[in-house]
């Protein structure tokens, strides 16, 4: 015992010493372009010397960036140095999707250590986020691009050249003293773990973690850079995929997050009857699928795990049902419990105290959810009968559903045959209540656009940033909860399921799933799902379109007295004559005229494309989210007192 304590103390002293002064990991903050975090602008200037050689990594892309020359041009390096670092010739084409070493000079400018590159915009759809994430693969962030370039994000035009501050860092005095000469900027990808990365570059995992101010329980995310401290120049061989599969990461459970008031607690909306039971079932399936998927990942050397946005819709190729219910039934409840227990386990007595013995006054809207307070932090506790538990040892995955606009399940308790789940608490309730049930203060235009943008971000995250990709399947305005600042949190993953990637055929085209169990909420379900049970991410896009329409019109998804569903009414509004008047009439009267008509029009058009009956006419969630970012940024610039001017001066070039 004494020994253990001593070790703990020594370790923590070491940790503190090692962590101090090194760089902060991005942890997906680069996705939140309109907020600044102190890690998004760049690595801080704390190097022992103000400039140094640093190594970037970059995945070659055919045909644009697949030679030392073209990559040097993009990243402002020199072709001959890239060639020699990778043991190839300057002009040799590099096979697509190969990790390439790019030596650059790194130096301090202002308070950040960076390497300057520049980029000339090529397409009208380029955005700061797109340049940072897609073109530069995460070597820079939208926030730092915005800070170092004078252009507004709506003023980006083809041919414009922007400065690109590429993240890099020089070893600190402490690192230099430990013999470290280079900090390599590694791009995290699906399936990576700090352990595997450390092994690959032959460094201690603890050194790697310390260099990025990470704990071994922290999660790393794809498309974010991680600094790898190296004593010698990296060799191209280290960049090849390891031959033996990396040991599976199974970090210890996260420490109870007591008193962290950054993460406000929110509860899962009072949704479908057995919401939480389904949540667990869905998560179990999700874990199961992701496990299978990970196994695949290790077998295939160059996995292409990006979900294709939609398969061609040919009913003949429909695959047999894999009903989530069937898969989970076979999981034994005891095995499942282990995973749940790696969430914060709560003592029943603590839950009783936090909910005032489950008093009626703490019950939320007659549901089985109770308001709770743990050490001053609010939470919601959902009571379910039965010993419900999760499968697998992959609690890590559960933690990966980590997005500020997605509700967080943080703990649980099993007591006398009941299961209690503890969630974040959303003080402002659900969107449906705020919109339709005579809320005291109606949501403003800005708040509505922010909510739409939050939800788009959450869905984009589920579709493109989780492994495996997830489909929510039951998005509606009662599953969108609002925190104290009216920021959205998507909740109720009761019907969510993983995109099944085992079905990929030779061309890598992703097959899609079909189910006989069509369940969902009236007014939000896409036609191909109702008719054929087809499940693709476009289901969420459709439901999202309906939510946009609710935000615009304040009407219910299930329609008006004449029994037309809300989504059926939008084409009438945007077609034919007098579009301007029809939009004004469509808009929520409680907005009065305090909204910019042109932006309302853009949002209505986006909504219309999302609820297109043809699955292929709908945008992907990434596209929808991009469009909404633009609408949001215009909205943030918009001053309600301009309302009249805007409506009079801006031409709306549609209609006739
Ligand atoms: C970054 O922000 C966190 C919390 O907001 C703070 O604790 C930390 O000191 C900041 N780091 C720097 C380098 O400013
Ligand atoms: C570079 O490649 C050549 C053959 O292409 C090989 O003989 C040589 O060993 C390689 N050098 C290094 C340092 O990997
Ligand atoms: C770094 O700078 C030195 C001197 O300015 C130059 O010789 C070298 O080529 C540069 N390296 C790269 C990778 O640009
Ligand atoms: C650098 O940081 C200091 C202290 O945080 C701040 O006062 C200063 O404005 C920063 N300089 C630049 C160029 O951002
Ligand atoms: C990089 O760009 C910044 C901003 O324009 C500038 O202050 C800095 O001097 C540049 N650094 C180098 C090494 O050119
Ligand atoms: C970010 O870039 C990666 C490739 O670098 C891509 O797979 C991913 O979809 C991008 N994310 C978004 C939201 O566009
Ligand atoms: C965008 O461009 C317009 C017209 O050229 C200009 O008036 C406006 O100031 C620009 N906005 C920003 C943020 O650069």
Do 131 and 55 reside in the same domain of the chain?
yes
**Strands 369-374, 344-345: pairing kind:** unpaired
Higher-confidence residue: 148 or 11? 148
Do 386 and 452 reside in the same domain of the chain?
no
Which residues make Cβ contacts (< 8 Å) with residue 509, sequence separation at least 6?
308, 311, 312
Whose CA is closest to atom 6 on ligand 5? 109
Segment among 390-404, 522-536, 620-634 with least mean pLDDT: 390-404
Buried b vs exposed e over 331-365: b needs ≥16 C-beta within 10 Å? beeeebbebbbbbbebeeeebbebbeebeeebebe
pLDDT tens, 354-382?
998 888 888 887 677 889 998 888 898 88
Segments in 417-537 forming alpha helices (H): 431-436, 445-464, 527-532
Rg (CA), the chain: 26
State which ligand 5 atom lies nearest to the alpha carbon of 116. 1
Whose CA is closest to atom 2 on ligand 5? 116
Judged against a pLDDT cut of 90, whether residue 587 lies above it is answered with yes
Judged against a pLDDT cut of 80, whether residue 314 lies above it is answered with no
Segment among 273-277, 567-571, 629-633 with least mean pLDDT: 273-277
Do 105 and 196 reside in the same domain of the chain?
yes
pLDDT tens, 69-100?
889 989 999 888 999 999 887 767 788 888 99
Segment among 460-464, 569-573, 591-595, 648-652 with least mean pLDDT: 648-652
- Which of residues 369, 399, 424 is at a domain's end? 424
Judged against a pLDDT cut of 70, whether residue 10 lies above it is answered with no
- Which of residues 424, 452, 486 is at a domain's end? 424
Do 61 and 81 reside in the same domain of the chain?
yes
Q: What is residue 655's predicted lDDT score, i.e. its pLDDT?
A: 32
Q: What is residue 5's predicted lDDT score, i.e. its pLDDT?
A: 41
Whose CA is closest to atom 13 on ligand 6? 622
Q: What is residue 385's predicted lDDT score, i.e. its pLDDT?
A: 65
152 lines ligand 7 (CB under 6 A): yes
365 lines ligand 4 (CB under 6 A): no
Whose CA is closest to atom 12 on ligand 7? 152
In this prediction, residues 428-440 reach a mean pLDDT of: 79
In this prediction, residues 137-166 reach a mean pLDDT of: 91
Tell me, yes or no, whether 386 lies in a domain.
yes
Do 461 and 528 reside in the same domain of the chain?
yes
Judged against a pLDDT cut of 60, whether residue 651 lies above it is answered with no
| Bridge partners for 500 per DSSP | none
111 lines ligand 4 (CB under 6 A): yes
Ligand nearest the Cα of residue 238 is: 2
Tell me, yes or no, whether 294 lies in a domain.
no
| 50, 56, 90, 105: residue to mutate for ligand 3 pocket, most atoms within 8 A of CB | 105
User: Could you tell me the pLDDT band of residue 321, with boundaries at 50, 70 and 90?
Assistant: very low
Whose CA is closest to atom 7 on ligand 1? 38
Segment among 220-229, 362-371, 421-430 with least mean pLDDT: 362-371
- Which of residues 399, 424, 449 is at a domain's end? 424
Do 112 and 133 reside in the same domain of the chain?
yes
Higher-confidence residue: 485 or 419? 485
Q: How far apart are CA 584 and CA 588, in angstroms?
A: 9
Across 5-14, 15-24, 531-540, 560-569, the highest mean pLDDT is recorded for: 531-540
Judged against a pLDDT cut of 50, whether residue 279 lies above it is answered with no
Judged against a pLDDT cut of 60, whether residue 342 lies above it is answered with no
Q: What is residue 217's predicted lDDT score, i.e. its pLDDT?
A: 80
CATH number at residue 413: 3.30.200.20
Range of 437's domain? 429-502+511-645
Q: Which of 294, 425, 438 is CA-nearest to residue 372?
A: 425
Do 157 and 133 reside in the same domain of the chain?
yes
Q: How far is the CA of 193 from the centre of ligand 4 (A)?
A: 34
Q: What is residue 340's predicted lDDT score, i.e. its pLDDT?
A: 44
Higher-confidence residue: 426 or 414? 426
Q: What is residue 560's predicted lDDT score, i.e. its pLDDT?
A: 64
User: Could you tell me the pLDDT band of residue 268, with boundaries at 50, 70 and 90?
Assistant: very low
Ligand 1 cavity residues, CB under 6 Å: 38, 44
Do 415 and 493 reside in the same domain of the chain?
no
Q: What is residue 402's predicted lDDT score, i.e. its pLDDT?
A: 75
Q: How far apart are CA 71 and CA 59, in angstroms?
A: 10
Tell me, yes or no, whether 624 lies in a domain.
yes
Q: How far apart are CA 582 and CA 571, in angstroms?
A: 11
Tell me, yes or no, whether 464 lies in a domain.
yes
In this prediction, residues 591-615 reach a mean pLDDT of: 93
Q: Is 426 left (phi over 0), alpha (psi -120 to 50) or beta?
A: beta
Judged against a pLDDT cut of 60, whether residue 443 lies above it is answered with yes
Q: What is residue 365's predicted lDDT score, i.e. its pLDDT?
A: 73
Tell me, yes or no, whether 283 lies in a domain.
no
155 lines ligand 7 (CB under 6 A): yes
Q: What is residue 439's predicted lDDT score, i.e. its pLDDT?
A: 60
Buried b vs exposed e over 523-559: b needs ≥16 C-beta within 10 Å? bbbbebbeeebbbbbbbbbbbbbbbbbbbbbbbebeb
Do 544 and 469 reside in the same domain of the chain?
yes
Q: How far is the CA of 623 from the centre of ligand 6 (A)?
A: 11
In this prediction, residues 274-292 reach a mean pLDDT of: 37
Report whether 218 contacts 25 (CB < 8 A). yes
Q: How many domains does the chain have?
A: 3
Q: How far apart are CA 69 and CA 55, in angstroms?
A: 16
User: Could you tell me the pLDDT band of residue 31, with boundaries at 50, 70 and 90?
Assistant: confident
In this prediction, residues 150-172 reach a mean pLDDT of: 90
Q: Which of 68, 141, 70 is CA-nearest to residue 100?
A: 68
In this prediction, residues 588-609 reach a mean pLDDT of: 93
User: Could you tell me the pLDDT band of residue 338, with boundaries at 50, 70 and 90?
Assistant: very low
CATH number at residue 563: 1.10.510.10
Tell me, yes or no, whether 441 lies in a domain.
yes
User: Could you tell me the pLDDT band of residue 494, with boundaries at 50, 70 and 90?
Assistant: low
In this prediction, residues 178-185 reach a mean pLDDT of: 94
In this prediction, residues 9-19 reach a mean pLDDT of: 39
In this prediction, residues 596-608 reach a mean pLDDT of: 94
Q: What is residue 110's predicted lDDT score, i.e. its pLDDT?
A: 85
Tell me, yes or no, whether 245 lies in a domain.
no
105 lines ligand 3 (CB under 6 A): yes
Higher-confidence residue: 142 or 5? 142
Residue 327, Cβ neighbours under 10 Å: how many?
16
- Mean pLDDT score across all residues of the chain: 74
Do 416 and 440 reside in the same domain of the chain?
no
Tell me, yes or no, whether 274 lies in a domain.
no
Higher-confidence residue: 247 or 174? 174
Judged against a pLDDT cut of 60, whether residue 489 lies above it is answered with yes
Q: Which of 16, 152, 107 is CA-nearest to residue 638?
A: 152
Residue given tokens 């995929």 in the structure block = 241
Q: What is residue 615's predicted lDDT score, i.e. its pLDDT?
A: 92
Q: How far apart are CA 549 and CA 560, in angstroms?
A: 13
Q: How far apart are CA 110 and CA 68, in angstroms?
A: 30
33: tokens are 């372009």
In this prediction, residues 573-577 reach a mean pLDDT of: 87
| 109, 113, 118: residue to mutate for ligand 5 pocket, most atoms within 8 A of CB | 109
Do 61 and 92 reside in the same domain of the chain?
yes
Judged against a pLDDT cut of 80, whether residue 119 lies above it is answered with yes
341 lines ligand 3 (CB under 6 A): no
Report whether 158 contacts 124 (CB < 8 A). yes
Judged against a pLDDT cut of 50, whether residue 13 lies above it is answered with no
Ligand nearest the Cα of residue 148 is: 5
Do 539 and 561 reside in the same domain of the chain?
yes
Q: What is residue 155's predicted lDDT score, i.e. its pLDDT?
A: 83
């Amino acid at each position: 015992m004494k020994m253990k304590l001593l070790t703990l103390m020594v370790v923590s002293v070491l940790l503190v010493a090692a962590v101090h002064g090194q760089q902060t990991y991005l942890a997906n903050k680069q996705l939140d372009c309109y907020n600044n975090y102190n890690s998004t602008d760049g690595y801080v200037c704390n190097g022992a010397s103000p400039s140094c050689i640093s190594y970037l990594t970059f995945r070659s892309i055919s045909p644009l960036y697949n030679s030392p020359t073209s990559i040097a041009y993009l990243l402002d390096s020199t072709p001959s140095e890239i060639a020699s670092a990778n043991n190839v010739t300057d002009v040799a084409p590099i096979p697509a999707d190969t990790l390439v070493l790019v030596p650059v000079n790194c130096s301090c400018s202002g308070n950040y250590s960076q390497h300057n590159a520049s980029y000339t915009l090529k397409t009208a759809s380029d955005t700061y986020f797109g340049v940072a994430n897609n073109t530069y693969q995460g070597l820079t962030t939208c926030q730092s691009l915005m800070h170092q370039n004078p252009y507004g994000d709506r003023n980006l035009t083809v041919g414009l050249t922007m400065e690109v501050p590429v993240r890099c860092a020089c070893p600190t005095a402490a690192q230099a003293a430990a013999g470290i000469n280079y900090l390599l900027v590694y791009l995290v990808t699906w399936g990576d773990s700090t352990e595997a990365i450390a092994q690959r570059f032959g460094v201690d995992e603890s050194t790697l973690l310390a260099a990025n101010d990470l704990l071994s329980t922290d999660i790393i995310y794809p498309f974010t850079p991680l600094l790898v401290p190296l004593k010698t120049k990296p060799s191209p061989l280290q960049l090849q995929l390891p031959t033996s599969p990396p040991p599976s990461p199974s970090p210890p459970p996260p420490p109870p997050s007591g008193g962290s008031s950054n993460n406000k607690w929110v509860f899962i909306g009072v949704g479908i009857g057995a919401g939480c039971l389904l949540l667990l079932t869905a998560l179990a399936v999700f874990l199961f699928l992701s496990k299978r998927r990970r196994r695949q990942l290790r077998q295939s050397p160059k996995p292409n795990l990006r979900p294709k946005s939609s398969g061609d819709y040919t009913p003949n190729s429909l695959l047999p049902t894999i009903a989530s219910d069937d898969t989970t039934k076979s999981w034994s409840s005891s095995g499942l419990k282990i995973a749940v227990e790696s969430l914060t386990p709560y003592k029943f007595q603590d839950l009783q105290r936090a909910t005032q013995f489950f008093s009626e006054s703490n019950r939320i809207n007659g549901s089985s959810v109770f308001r709770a307070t743990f050490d001053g932090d609010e939470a919601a506790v959902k009571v379910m009968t039965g010993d419900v538990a999760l499968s697998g040892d992959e609690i890590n995955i559960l933690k990966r559903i980590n997005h500020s606009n997605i509700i967080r399940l943080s703990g649980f308790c099993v007591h006398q045959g009941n299961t209690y789940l503890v969630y974040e608490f959303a003080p402002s309730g659900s969107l449906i209540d705020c919109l339709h049930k005579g809320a005291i203060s109606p949501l403003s235009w800005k708040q509505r656009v922010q909510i739409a943008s939050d939800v788009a971000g959450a869905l984009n995250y589920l579709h493109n940033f989780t492994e495996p990709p997830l489909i929510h399947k039951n998005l509606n305005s009662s599953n969108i909860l609002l925190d104290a600042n009216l920021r959205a949190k998507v909740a109720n993953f009761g019907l969510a399921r993983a995109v099944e990637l085992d079905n990929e055929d030779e061309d890598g085209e992703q097959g899609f799933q079909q189910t006989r169990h069509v369940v969902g909420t009236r007014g939000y379900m896409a036609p191909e799902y109702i008719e054929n049970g087809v499940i693709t991410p476009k289901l969420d896009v459709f439901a999202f379109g309906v939510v946009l329409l609710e935000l615009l019109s304040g009407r219910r998804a299930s329609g008006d007295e004449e029994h037309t569903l809300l989504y059926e009414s939008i084409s009438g509004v945007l077609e034919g004559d007098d579009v301007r008047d029809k939009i004004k009439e469509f808009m929520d009267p409680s907005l009065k005229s305090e909204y910019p008509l042109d932006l309302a029009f853009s949002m209505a058009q986006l909504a219309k494309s999302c609820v297109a009956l043809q699955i292929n006419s709908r945008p992907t969630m990434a596209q929808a989210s991009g469009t909404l970012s633009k609408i949001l940024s215009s909205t943030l610039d918009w001053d309600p007192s301009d309302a009249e001017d805007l409506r009079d001066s801006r031409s709306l070039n549609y209609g006739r």
